[in-house]
Structure 1
C-alpha cells in the first residue's frame, strides 16, 4: 500500500489509548479531503495503518528486544566510545533492563500508535461506499490483531477498544488469546489472498493464527514453570499450516540469501513482511547495523559504512560448529555464509568493477576485505576498477587494527573492541538507496513459508512426538536451498534439535526471544548473561505509560519483577 496515496492530511489531536500513554499525533484523514473519490479516501485511510511498521522494525526497537535479549546477539560498549547508551544494550542482554529503557518505550509507543491508526480506519472505512473499503476494513482489523499479538508477546497484555472516545479495556492471558483469535477468524473470509506480503492477506491470517496457537501456552501463563501445550492448540497449528502449504500461493526459495535481497518483495516464500520498496520510505538499517565502520558496501557512497554494532555470541556460533563438525559451517550449510568477493579465496583478485562489487553475506568471520577509502574517496586500480584489499579500522583512528572479526566478544575491555564478534550481514545493502543507508528496498520479513513448515513440525512433536513427520518438514526446508549445495538431511528430530534448527534458519529475524521462551531456554546462561528470573520473559511497561495512567487508580499495573 503506497504511502504516496495520502494526498491531503489534516491535523487531528488523537489520544486513542486514553490514560495509558501519550499518543497525540498527526492522523491522516483523507476521507475529509474534498475532491477524493471513496476509493482514494479508502486507500488514504488504510495506508497509515501499515506506515509505522518500518519504525517498529528498526534496529534499535523491536530488533533490540527480540535479539539482543537472547543468545544470538550481543552489543558491547565498543571501544569505550560507541554504543554505550547508558548501558541499555548491556542490560538488555543481561536481563537487567528497566521500565525506563528507551528502546522498550519506543517500541511500545510505535505499536500503540499503529493500533490507534487501525482503530481510526475501523471507524472511518464503513462510511465509504467503494468495494475496496470492505477489504481494507478487514485488513485494519487484522493489523489491530497483529499489533495486539505484539503487545501480548512482549508485555503480557492487550488493549481492546472500538470507540475512539472510550478508555481501552486491558486483558491478559486466555482472554487475550481468545480475543485475538476471534478477530483473525472474523476477517479470514474477507481478506484478499493475492495482495502480496506487505498487506494482510488470507495467508497472513492463517500464519498469524498458527503462530498464536503455537505460543498460546506461553501467552496464557507467561510465568509458568512448565508450559502446557494443549493438543487441540497443536491441531490448530497443523490445520492453519496445512492451509498455507496446500494453497499453492507460496514456495520455498532456492537461494536462501535471495530472501533478504533488495528485490525480495516478490519472493514467493514471503507471506507477511514490512513493505520497504523505495517509494515507501523504507530503511536499510538491518544491512549496516552489524558491519564494521570500515566496511563500505557501495562504491557509489563513500560515507555509507557499518556501525560496529552487534555480533553473534560465541555460544550461538558454537551451535553451528557442533552441528556441522567436522566440516566448517560455511561449507556445510548455505544459510551460514555466501561469498561474493573472490579475494577471500584468491588474494590476487584485488580489482573489481563497481557494478560487480558485492560484500559477502551471512555470518562474517576473520579478516575482512573490501573497498579501501583514503581521504574520503575509494582507491581505484589502474584500469578504473575498485581497489579491494584488507581492511583496517581507519575510521576509528586505529589504522594498525585489522578488521579481523574474532569469535570472542563480551563486555570486558578486550571483548568490546571494534573487531570483536562475528558479524551478520543477512539483508542486502540497497544499490538503489539515495543515501547508501536509508531507503533500502528489502522488505523485512515477519513471516515466511519456512516458518510455517517449522511450526507444523513443532506442533506434531509437542502433541504426539511425531518425530518422523517433524523430521520430514525440517528436511524439506533444508533441501529446498538448491541454488548451492543444500545442507544435508538430518537423521533424527527432537524439540532441542528443532530449536537449534530454528536458530540456523531464522537467525537475526527477530524470532529468537519468543522461540527461547517457548522452548524453555530463556532463563539459560550464555555470554555475559546468567540471570534466571522468569519475570524477564515479559518486558516492563514503560514508566511513561504508567505515569500517564496514574489518574485512573489500578488501570495499568507494572508487570511482575519490575
Structure 2
C-alpha cells in the first residue's frame, strides 16, 4: 500500500511539472530524470512510464482523433467558419487525405515514442534494483509491459516498433511478423512477475492486462503481418485469442457492469469491468476531456459551474447512426439498447434542484434541453426557490435566440453550423470541472472485460463456430440489466459482429482498428470516398523522418506517402 500511495503522489507531482514544460526531445532516444529526492528509487523509476499518458497519447485531439475521426463513426467539420478548422488536420484525417505533415500524426508519434523511451529508462534503472528489491521485479515487468503497449500503438498506427534495452543504444526497427513476434515474446516474458488487477487497480499493467493485450495482438496479427493485403486469420492466432480471453474471463478479477454508462463514470476506477485504463483520478491531475469534446458549447451540465460547457467538436456520422436504425427497425434504439442512451434529465420544460440535475448519457439527438440562461443576475434562471429552470437550450453562438437542435446530417459543408450532428456523452462530465476543460477524473478505458467476450466471439466465428460466438455476444448484451436489456440476437456472422462491436465500443479508440480487420476501412461514407488500402497505415511524421535522416535508410516512410 505504501508503494501504491508513493507512486500516485509521484505521478501527481510529475504531471504538474510536465504539463507546464515544453521539452525539446529526440523522438527515438530520450531520458527524463525528474527530481525524485526522498522517493523510493524503484517507485521513482516506474512513475514516468505512466505519467501524463493521457495528454501525450490518449488525448481527445490525438489518439482519439486518429482512431475515431479517421472512420465512419466520428466526424469533425469546420464549425461556423470559426472553430475546428485547425489547418485541415481533422478533415484530412477523416477523408484519408492525411500527409506526413499532419499534426495529429506528429502528436501521436511523439507522445508514444516519448513513453517508449521512458519505459526503457525505467528498465535500465530497475534492472539492478531487482537483486535486492522484490518490488522492483514487479515494477520492471510493468515497465516492459508498458513498452509493449506503446509499441503496439506504433505497430497498429504506423506499422513498426522500436526495440532497444539500453537508453543509450540506437533502436532497431521491426515491421510485420518480426514486430508481432517481438511484442508477443515481451508480454509472455513479463506476465509471471506482474500483480493482479485487484491488488493494484486498473491504472497499472497487470496479469489480466497482459493477457487482454495478447488477445488483441493475436486478433490483429494477420493485419499487422500483411497490412495492405487480405488478412489470413489462422487457427493458431484465433486459438491464442481464445486462450488469453479465457484466462481473463476465468481469472475472477473482472465482471461486466450492469449499468453500461457506469463504466465511464467519474468514479470508474473501482469498476471491475476495467482491465487497464489511463488513471485520471484527482491526485493524478485528471485531464479527461472526452465529455467536453462532443458537447454543445451552448450546454452547461453543472449548475454550480456556469463557465463549464462543451466545445461543439466531434459528432457521429449519419452512417454510424444508421447501423443502430438497421439493427432495431421500428423500435427507437434508445428504447431497444441501453448502450445508446440513458435518460437522467427531464427532457421537457420544468424545474430541478442542483443536486438532482444530471445530464443524459450516450448519443444526443434533436432538440437539446438544459439549464435556461438567466437574463438577470444569476447565470441560470431559477424557479420554485433554489430550483433551476430546465428548458430548450438557447443558442449563444451564431443563431442567438434559437434553441439548439442536433441534426442527423453533418458534413463538411462550408460554415457547417455548431449544432449539426448527433453528439456523444459516453464519459461522465466531471462533477468538479469548473471550465469543462479540467478535472476530468474518469479513467480512460483501454482494455475492458466486455472485449474479452467479443474478441473470443470473433475468434470462434472466424474458426467457423457461429453458435459459440452468438452465445458470447448475447451474454454481453444480457449483462446490461440496470435499466433495460437489449434483445438477444438470433444469428451471428461477421457483419453482425462488426456492428455489435460498434455498439459496444463506440468512442473507445477502437473503430479504425476494427474497420481494417473487418475489411471496411476502404468503404465510402459521408464525404469520404478514398479506397486506397495504403491509408490503413498512417504516414510517419516528416519531422521524425527528417530527424533520422543522418542515418541513411534508418526510418523509411510508409508506402503511399
- The TM-score range, normalised by the shorter chain, is over 0.9
**Preserved CA contact (<8 Å) 2:309 2:435:** no
SS in 2 for 1:271: strand
Relative distance call for 1:196 and 1:7 in structure 2 (3 A) is closer
Structure 1 residues 464-515: Cα deviation after superposition (integer angstroms, max 9, x where no partner):
x100000000000000000011100000000110000000000000100000
Q: Does the 8 Å CA contact 2:310/2:436 hold for their aligned counterparts?
A: no
1:349-368 superposed matches below 5 A: 350-368=350-368
1:496 and 1:518 mapped to 2: Cα distance?
12
Which residue in the other structure is 1:160 paired with? 163
Determine the C-alpha separation between the residues in 2 that align with 1:22 and 1:514.
25
**Mapping 1:121-132, distance limit 5 Å:** 121-128=122-129, 129-132=132-135
1:386 corresponding residue in structure 2 = 388
Structure 1: segments with no counterpart, 5+ residues:
none
Partners of 1:43 and 1:327 in 2: how far apart? 53
CA–CA distance in structure 1, aligned partners of residues 527 and 163 of structure 2? 38
1:190 lines up with 2:211 in the alignment: no
Give me the TM-score of the superposition, normalised by structure 1: 0.94
Deviates more, 1:364-373 or 1:430-439: 430-439
Residue 64 (str. 1) matches residue 65 (str. 2) = yes
**Residue 52 of structure 1: CA displacement?**
2.9
CA distance in 2, matches of 1:187, 1:326: 51
1:135 aligns with 2:138: yes
* Separation in 1, partners of 2:438, 2:23: 29
Show the counterpart of 2:205: 200
* Residue of structure 2 in register with 1:104 after alignment: 105
- 1:7 to 1:65, Cα distance in 2 relative to 1, 3 A: closer
Query: 2:238 matched to 1:229?
Result: no
Does 2:446 correspond to 1:455? Answer: no
Q: Match for residue 440 of structure 1?
A: 440
Match of 2:243 among 239, 243, 256: 239
> For residues 356-505 of structure 1, what are the structure 2 equivalents within 5 Å?
356-374=356-374, 377-394=379-396, 396-413=397-414, 416-433=416-433, 435-463=435-463, 465-505=464-504
Q: After the TM superposition, which parts of structure 1 deviate over 4 Å for at least 4 consecutive aligned residues? A: 6-17, 22-26
- 1:543 positional shift: 0.5
Worse overlay, 382-391 or 514-523: 382-391
Q: TM-score, normalised by structure 2?
A: 0.94
Deviations 1:327-359 (A, max 9, x none): 0100000000011112x2xx35x2111111111
SS at match of 1:228: coil
Is 1:450–1:477's contact at 8 Å kept on the other side of the alignment? yes
What displacement does 1:154 show?
A: 0.2
Q: Does 1:148 align with 2:151?
A: yes
Alignment deviations for residues 144-181 of structure 1 (CA, whole Å, 9 cap, x no partner): 00011000000000000111111100000000000000
Q: Secondary structure at the match of 2:556?
A: coil
Preserved contact between residue 28 and residue 114 of structure 2 (Cα < 8 Å):
no
Kept in 1: contact 2:317–2:526 (CA 8 A): yes
Residue 254 of structure 1 contacts residue 481 of structure 1 at CA under 8 Å; is this kept in 2? yes
In 2, Cα distance between equivalents of 1:229 and 1:222? 13
Q: Is the 8 A contact 1:13 1:24 kept in 2?
A: no
Q: Which runs of 5+ in 2 are unaligned?
A: none
Give the Cα–Cα distance (whole angstroms) in 2 for the partners of residues 298 and 15 of structure 1: 38
* CA distances 1:118-155 after superposition (whole Å, capped 9, x unpaired): 00110001233332111000000000000110000000
- Is this contact kept in 1: 2:145–2:186, CA < 8 A? yes
With over 3 angstroms needed to count, the CA separation of the structure-2 counterparts of 1:140 and 1:24, relative to structure 1, is closer
Partner residue in 1 for 2:50: 50
Q: Assess, with a 3 A threshold, how the Cα gap between structure 1 residues 50 and 93 changes in structure 2: closer, same or farther.
A: same
Please say if residues 260 and 338 of structure 2, whose CA atoms lie closer than 8 Å, have aligned partners that are also in contact.
yes
Q: In the TM superposition, what whole-angstrom CA distance separates every residue of 1:258-285 from its partner, at most 9, and x where no partner exists?
A: 1110011111111010111011111131
Name which of structure 1's ranges 399-408 and 320-329 shifts more when overlaid on structure 2. Answer: 399-408
Alignment correspondent of 1:262: 266
| Whole-angstrom distance in 2 between the partners of 1:8 and 1:50 | 13
Query: Aligned-pair distance for 1:22?
Result: 6.9
Are 1:5 and 2:10 matched, yes or no?
yes
Q: Which residue of 1 aligns with 2:510?
A: 511
Aligned mate of 1:176, from 176, 179, 184: 179
Aligned to 2:193, the other structure's residue is in SS state coil
> Corresponding residue for 2:332?
328
